[in-house]
Structure 1
Amino acid sequence: MESIFSKIVAGDIPAHKVAETIDYLAFLDINPLTEGHLLVIPKKEVDYIFDLDSETYVGLMMFAQIVADGLKKAIPCERVGMTVIGLEVPHAHIHLIPIKTMDDMNFSRPKLKLSEERLTEIANAIRVHL
């Protein structure tokens, strides 16, 4: 079954992409916990992150590390938090979230509502640092 993330990879659904390789993609979450909240995915559609083959899993983590470095430079934060939940979309993905406190990673909090213009500004700011 094709996931929403696969449709983003195919270009069928627009996204605020910040980094892309042949195998991986990083884009802004449209319902972010904080400004700069990113989703990092393998382009290969696999539902559960621990079902990825070892090469794809390690590559995803290496790609996420590069993206997190650019994210930290672009968005004022104490750290970039990382979490894998994997229940909301059946496509392996990592959340990279600029955080100042532990509460910034609380998924039960209300999500931010950012304008398309602000999302574009944030994506551009991150891309400058990659």
Structure 2
Amino acid sequence: MSTLFTQIIAGDIPGRFVWADDVAVAFGTIAPITDGHVLVVPRDEIVQLTDAPDDVLAHLVLVAKTIGQAQQQAWSAPRAALLVAGFEVDHLHLHVLPAWGEASLSFSNARHDVPAAELDAAAERVRDALTARGHGAHVPAALNSPAL
């Protein structure tokens, strides 16, 4: 059975995509800790961090860095944070979010009641910042599509 993330990547479940390439996609989470919180996910189903081939893991981290730079620009955040837990879905994913302090980097701060329009706006803000930073080739043409 395919994972929730595989279904999102396949377009079977809606997603708010900000990045797509041959190895990875990134989309907004439905329970953000901060505005602009996205998940960087390999297209292949890899259960956890320690199962990832080195080249895939390196690619995911580089994508996370690029997205983090865009988040810092878009929200004037002093840092971009990277969290890897993996207990929610058995498909490797990196949480990347603009951050203002370590105290706020807890999944207990995730907001589950954010209106869809706000989630869309935050994803568009990341997409715009990525494009402005010269990464438009990896920003999908449509917010709800993992294809370029």
- TM-score interval, normalised by the smaller of the two chains: over 0.9
Letter in 2 for 1:51: D
Q: What per-residue deviation string (whole Å, max 9, x for no partner) do you get for residues 31-72 of structure 1?
A: 111111111111110101111111111111111111111111
8 A Cα contact 2:36 2:125, kept in partner: no
Give structure 1 regions of 4+ aligned residues with deviation exceeding 4 angstroms: none
Would you say how many aligned residue pairs link Structure 1 and Structure 2? Answer: 130
Residue 126 in structure 1 maps to residue 148 in structure 2: no
The answer to which of 105-114 and 54-63 deviates more is 105-114
1:7 counterpart residue number: 7
TM-score by length of 1: 0.93
1:93 counterpart residue number: 93
Q: What per-residue deviation string (whole Å, max 9, x for no partner) do you get for residues 64-122 of structure 1?
A: 11111111111232211111001110000100121112121111235252211111111
TM-score by length of 2: 0.83
1:37 counterpart residue number: 37
- Once residues 109 and 127 of structure 2 are traced to their aligned partners in structure 1, the CA distance between those partners, rounded to angstroms, is 27
Root-mean-square deviation (CA, aligned residues, Å) is 1.3
Structure 2: gaps of 5 or more residues: 131-148
Structure 1: gaps of 5 or more residues: none
8 A Cα contact 2:31 2:110, kept in partner: no
Name the SS of the counterpart of 2:39 in structure 1. Answer: strand
1:1-130 residue pairs with structure 2 within 5 A? Answer: 1-130=1-130
**Higher helix fraction (1 or 2):** 2
Percent same amino acid among aligned pairs? 30
